[in-house]
């Protein structure tokens, strides 16, 4: 904060630097604490997105396989026998 004017804030850096070292370290996180709801929600959304992408990738691969089978069948039909 600036004691007099906000434009003087940058001129109070030395004062802020001195104060900064007097601020105690925050307490350590409790390892037994429940996971924050925000993290759980983000993880759920990320898992859902990952599952959706995996499904889309699987569908694309199946489409490629089907197209490859059709191409092989067309080649077989054109040759009049087995490839």
Q: Which two tokens stand for residue 72?
A: 């092989």
Which residue in 1, 24, 23 sits closest to 13, CA to CA?
1
- What is the pLDDT averaged over residues 23-43? 92
pLDDT band at 57 (very low <50, low <70, confident <90, very high): very high
Q: Say yes or no to pLDDT of 71 above 60.
A: yes
Average pLDDT value for the chain: 87
Q: Reduced to 3 states, what is the DSSP secondary structure of residue 11? A: helix
> pLDDT tens digit string along 37-49?
999 999 999 999 9
Separation CA 20–CA 2 (nearest Å): 15
**Any idea how long the chain is?**
83
8 Å CB contact between 16 and 3: no
Q: Say yes or no to pLDDT of 1 above 70.
A: no
Prediction pTM value: 0.48
């Amino acid at each position: 904060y600036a004691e007099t004017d906000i434009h003087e804030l940058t001129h109070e850096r030395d004062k802020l630097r001195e104060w900064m070292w007097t601020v105690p370290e925050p307490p350590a996180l409790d390892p037994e604490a429940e996971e924050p709801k925000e993290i759980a929600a983000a993880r759920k959304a990320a898992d859902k997105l990952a599952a959706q992408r995996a499904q889309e990738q699987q569908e694309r691969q199946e489409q490629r396989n089907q197209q490859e089978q059709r191409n092989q069948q067309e080649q077989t039909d054109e040759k009049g026998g087995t490839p």
